[in-house]
Structure 1
Amino acid sequence: MWNPYSPFIQTERQSSLFNITKELSNKVGKRATLTDHYGKFLDDNLRDLKDYNYQSLSLPKALGGENLSLYEFVLLQEKLAEGDASVALSIGWHLGIVMELRDEGLWDEETFNWIGKEIHHNKKIINRAATEPATGSPTRGGIPETTAVRDKTGYILNGRKTFTTMANVLDYYIVSAKMNDLNEVGWFLVENGQNGVKIEETWDSLGMRGTASDDLILSDVHVPHNRLVEHKTPPRKGKVPKGWLLHIPACYLGIAIAARNEAVEFAKNYQPNSLNTTISEVAHIKEKIGKMDLAILNAQYFLFGVADKWDNNPENRTDLGPDLAAVKTIATNNANEVVDLAMRIVGGRSLAKSSNLERHYRDVRAGLHNPPMDDSVLHTLASRAIND
């Protein structure tokens, strides 16, 4: 069978990391139906991730990681998502945030080194908690309604965060809150299990159910001054875009590849008694298979091309924002097209709850609602064209 990854594995290091991820993908893939059924981030999946030290990959080597490049990150995430996209998307937020902290120096060195040791040696998992009911996606610029009121020893946090991926199994939450003393948005490191920290199981999504993106509720949560890890300053001219967000399109391409492989195997083996051959020889089936591969290749070359530019031309990263956004739109829309074609090949049985394609169909839809949204991407591209 055609290997969609072979054109993009360029070094021995990438091959080694990919083969490890392939093993991990196979393991979580065997539980994908259970993950979807229960709508939980399964303990077994978390254990496997930690056993492979997957949570450490984007840390600097000095802290026990592999100093993962963006190109390597999307390569591995795409393969992991082929097994279970909800697992890949979930751990992708953790790895991406670590990459962001590593590359942008958002935290002071002492705090970053401490969290790095927590992640590698104690296998801790972190994620940002930013989305709120009233503000919607933080990418739209909404100011959080979660409050941080200063007292003599630190801050008191109160608020509710939605879409907190892996909420129950996270060890630390990086929480955005409006600070009363500075009139700015600050980011506070909150530990799971602290007094006043509660998870409300609100996640009832159609797709990506295994991300368990429940609500985080903060009720008079006290954090010391040193847990204010970031706060917003006036926007810098030439601000570097978030390259690590390419983990999102990589995950949805992983779903597309899984659906494509399943449909091709079905077509090669299914022979109705009305035909003298399998349906793989039927013209309209061949056309659909060709369209699937075209859509995947189109998105993959764009994804890996932009990631390669990011890694090898750091001086030009400030100019890559529109390209990064465009990758997400192309990849998620192409992935939806591929899953649709796969289901057309397999036919009505693809709608059965026992079919992986039924799960892929629900999961891949979620990509259309991850940031950045298509309308924002088109506006960004148009603005670049007009202002050139």
Structure 2
Amino acid sequence: MSVLTPELLERIRERAPGYDRENRFFDEDLTELRDAGYLRPRSLAECVADQRLLAAYAPATALAINMHLVVVGIARTLSERGIPDLDWVLADAEAGELFAFGNSEPGNDLVMWDSLTTAERVETPVAGYAFTGTKIFTSLAPAWTRLIVFGKQADGPDGPRLVHGILTRDDAGVTTLDDWDTLGMRATQSRTTTLDHAVVPDARIVRFLPVGPNADPFIFALFANFLTLIAAVYAGIADRALELAVEAVRRRTGLKNAGASYALDPDIRWRVADAALALDALAPQLDAVARDVDEKADRGARWFRDLTGLKHRATETAREVVDQAMRLAGGGGYRSSSELVRLQRDVLAGIYHPSDTESVHATVAANLLGPLP
């Protein structure tokens, strides 16, 4: 059973406009969600259903919480496949630690296949790897206690390779900038993080991977959780946009139809139905992918095609539905205080999350036609 009670969700919705207006982190939401047990490890299907619901009430809160759920989800997905390497992450999450993502880098369009951050082997003050570089879009920046990062070890007998590890808030060499002032998703406070010889001890190194694409279980777990949960958030935004559009259409009247409700206008009805049809097509794909990850279904070489395709469909569909809702709401929906305006700004963030449109199409083409020479 979900811990997202109607009362909790309404309080979260009431706070969302203030967070957005003040460009402020969602401290109160986080406290309530943590106290309710929302951050504890659960199945991907459960997280997807809850995140879709939460996003309909507060998109930025849901998007930021996603990052914690993704890291915990990676550990859970590996554990369910008999790989216990990150079981300690599950224990940390149960104990109340908050995980964040520190992977994105300015100028790194290869995303997880290479890194501009350096990872240097060190033996003092502890044996581990020192990370130096800049990470962007670090959601949960004001509150995380654990940050997953990666960098490239270029030299030594094992290089070049990618080193993945988890920093703690107390580790030296980690600086969070106060530089988050964006069009939408403002409450995420996804600030820039700089790493200056920030050492991750060997015990918190989670993976060594080759540079370039690979099918390591860690990468599968990362893509499966990140892309599916991102899709859930944008589906939730579309859910709320459609709901607001229906409310607006029922409320609006005009001279065109002698004062009759817009809900009786054939053109308006077609537009509402068009938005609903687009959104209806998304749910089966989202639910099936989450279920198949949990049930360890074997989709073989289709997995990355299906995961990236799901994210692409969800973010693009959400943009279409919000756009339809803006048209249906009329001029009143264009006011800066309108919830739809905030959804319009928030939904645009979907185009910036990996995998981008070009990468998605390249992945699908490679699945169908084989890799480029």
- TM bin, normalised by shorter chain, reads 0.7 to 0.9
Per mean C-alpha deviation after superposition, the further-off stretch among 242-251 and 314-323 is: 314-323
Over residues 112-136 of structure 1, what are the superposed CA-to-partner deviations in whole Å (9 max), with x where a residue is unaligned?
4443333223x11112211112324
Over residues 326-353 of structure 1, what are the superposed CA-to-partner deviations in whole Å (9 max), with x where a residue is unaligned?
1111111111111111110111221211
Is the counterpart of residue 35 in structure 1 residue 16 in structure 2? no
Is the counterpart of residue 126 in structure 1 residue 108 in structure 2? no
Match of 1:83 among 43, 57, 67: 57
Between the two proteins, the alignment pairs up a number of residues equal to 359
In the alignment, residue 240 of structure 2 is paired with which amino acid? A
Aligned twin of 2:172 = 195
Over residues 267-324 of structure 1, what are the superposed CA-to-partner deviations in whole Å (9 max), with x where a residue is unaligned?
1122236633211111111111101110110111222233333334523355322112
**Cα distance in structure 2, aligned partners of 1:88 and 1:38:** 18
**Cα distance in structure 2, aligned partners of 1:315 and 1:136:** 29
**Cα distance in structure 2, aligned partners of 1:224 and 1:258:** 44
**Cα distance in structure 1, aligned partners of 2:299 and 2:320:** 32
8 Å CA contact 2:228, 2:289 repeated in 1:
no
> What displacement does 1:36 show?
1.2
In the alignment, residue 45 of structure 2 is paired with which amino acid? Y
Partner-residue secondary structure (3-state), 1:315:
coil
Partner-residue secondary structure (3-state), 1:286:
helix
**Cα distance in structure 1, aligned partners of 2:184 and 2:278:** 22
Pair 317,95 (structure 1): closer, same or farther in 2 beyond 3 Å = farther
Aligned twin of 1:243 = 224
In the alignment, residue 342 of structure 2 is paired with which amino acid? R
Match of 1:353 among 336, 347, 356: 336
> What displacement does 1:51 show?
1.2
Aligned twin of 1:64 = none
Aligned twin of 1:51 = 35
Pair 142,107 (structure 1): closer, same or farther in 2 beyond 3 Å = farther
**Cα distance in structure 2, aligned partners of 1:27 and 1:156:** 42
**Cα distance in structure 1, aligned partners of 2:346 and 2:191:** 17
Is the counterpart of residue 385 in structure 1 residue 358 in structure 2? no
**Cα distance in structure 1, aligned partners of 2:231 and 2:370:** 27
**Cα distance in structure 2, aligned partners of 1:313 and 1:119:** 22
**Cα distance in structure 1, aligned partners of 2:107 and 2:27:** 32
Match of 1:293 among 273, 276, 296: 276
Over residues 207-246 of structure 1, what are the superposed CA-to-partner deviations in whole Å (9 max), with x where a residue is unaligned?
1111111011122333433232322158666867322121
In structure 1, list runs of 5 or more residues that go unmatched: 1-15, 60-66
Aligned twin of 2:252 = 270
**Cα distance in structure 2, aligned partners of 1:176 and 1:311:** 26
8 Å CA contact 2:75, 2:90 repeated in 1:
no
- % identical aligned pairs: 28
**Cα distance in structure 1, aligned partners of 2:214 and 2:130:** 29
Over residues 46-105 of structure 1, what are the superposed CA-to-partner deviations in whole Å (9 max), with x where a residue is unaligned?
10110111110xx2xxxxxxx41x322221111110011111111112112211112225
> What displacement does 1:360 show?
0.5
> What displacement does 1:22 show?
4.9
The TM-score, its normalising length taken from structure 2, stands at 0.88
Is the counterpart of residue 156 in structure 1 residue 130 in structure 2? yes
In the alignment, residue 117 of structure 2 is paired with which amino acid? E
Pair 292,311 (structure 1): closer, same or farther in 2 beyond 3 Å = same
**Cα distance in structure 1, aligned partners of 2:166 and 2:195:** 12
**Cα distance in structure 1, aligned partners of 2:243 and 2:347:** 15
Pair 189,349 (structure 1): closer, same or farther in 2 beyond 3 Å = same
Is the counterpart of residue 102 in structure 1 residue 76 in structure 2? yes
**Equivalent residue runs for 1:217-256 within 5 Å:** 217-233=194-210, 241=220, 242-244=223-225, 245-256=227-238
In structure 2, list runs of 5 or more residues that go unmatched: none
**Cα distance in structure 1, aligned partners of 2:215 and 2:194:** 35
In the alignment, residue 188 of structure 1 is paired with which amino acid? G
